[in-house]
Amino acid sequence: MSTPIGHSLAGVSICFLTSTYLCPLQGRGLRRGWKSLLFCAIIACLPDIDFLPGIFVGNINYYHHKGTHSIFFALVMSLAVWAVARGKNRVKWGFLTFILILSHLAIDYITIDLGAPFGIPLLWPFSGKYFCFQNAFLPSTVRSASVASVFNAHNLRVILSELIIYLPLAIISYVVYRMVRKRSR
């Protein structure tokens, strides 16, 4: 499992890379587009909301990697965003939501999974099968049932490796965004 830092940086990268077509940063600059960036970072982390019910039952992993890690969840959330969005960009916001949640699923799919259930239930609720990439290469966090177990030296190394991987991607995405924005003026 990746951390919210990795998922957020991936979401911000997607926001920059889709700014011309989906994410409404175009023509606004970062001062006015920060809400779009925040939206993308939060939605990219949304499937991990399944940790919250686990906190209340005393095991943060109890509900993790269940239905929120599925294509069905991505579709439902996309439709929900489409339904509440206003104006002519409703379809864009819905599609962006779908892409951001799929990015979360893709990252978790290629992350080494150290705890049961192994993999992610991509086809839930139509199938209970968990899908796991056999050659997963991204480092995974180590956690047990308690919230405090998340804070350890191994997970700090995972965060550092995510910064090494995703921060350059976010910076490159920002540079591309600036080049496209400059060209369109």
Range of the domain at 45: 4-136+170-183
Which residue is listed with tokens 């965060």?
Answer: 159
Position 165 in a domain: no
Burial class (CB in 10 A: 0-12, 13-18, 19+), 166: buried
Question: What pTM was computed for the model?
Answer: 0.90
pLDDT, tens digit only, all 185 positions of the chain = 689 999 999 999 999 999 877 776 655 556 667 888 999 999 999 999 998 898 888 888 788 888 999 999 999 999 999 999 887 888 999 999 999 999 999 999 999 887 777 899 999 999 999 999 999 888 877 766 566 667 788 889 999 999 999 999 999 999 998 888 888 76
Burial class (CB in 10 A: 0-12, 13-18, 19+), 110: middle
Position 120 in a domain: yes
Question: How many structural domains compose the chain?
Answer: 1
Position 157 in a domain: no
Position 57 in a domain: yes
